[in-house]
Amino acid sequence: GQQLNQSPQSMFIQEGEDVSMNCTSSSIFNTWLWYKQDPGEGPVLLIALYKAGELTSNGRLTAQFGITRKDSFLNISASIPSDVGIYFCAGQGGAQKLVFGQGTRLTINP
Amino acid sequence: NAGVTQTPKFQVLKTGQSMTLQCAQDMNHEYMSWYRQDPGMGLRLIHYSVGAGITDQGEVPNGYNVSRSTTEDFPLRLLSAAPSQTSVYFCASSYLDTQYFGPGTRLTVL
Nearest CA in chain B to A41: B103
pLDDT, residue A95, reads 64
B17 and chain A in contact, CB less than 8 A: no
Asked if B97 and A103 come within 8 Å (Cβ–Cβ), the reply is no
* Cα–Cα distance, A6 to B36 (Å, whole number): 18
Give yes or no for residue B89 having a pLDDT over 80.
Answer: yes
* Cα–Cα distance, A34 to A91 (Å, whole number): 9
Q: Please say whether the beta carbons of B6 and B103 come within 8 A.
A: yes
Residues of chain A contacting B74 with CB distance shorter than 8 Å = none
B39 and chain A in contact, CB less than 8 A: no
pLDDT, residue B39, reads 82
* Cα–Cα distance, B94 to A7 (Å, whole number): 27
Asked if A43 and B31 come within 8 Å (Cβ–Cβ), the reply is no
pLDDT, residue B77, reads 98
Instruction: Give the mutation candidate from A21, A41, A54, A96 for the B interface (greatest B CB count, under 10 A).
Output: A96
Predicted confidence pLDDT, tens digits, chain A (110 residues):
567 899 999 999 999 999 999 999 998 998 999 999 998 889 999 999 999 999 999 999 999 999 999 999 999 999 999 999 999 999 987 666 889 999 999 999 87
Give yes or no for residue B97 having a pLDDT over 80.
Answer: no
pLDDT, residue B68, reads 97
* Cα–Cα distance, B110 to A73 (Å, whole number): 39
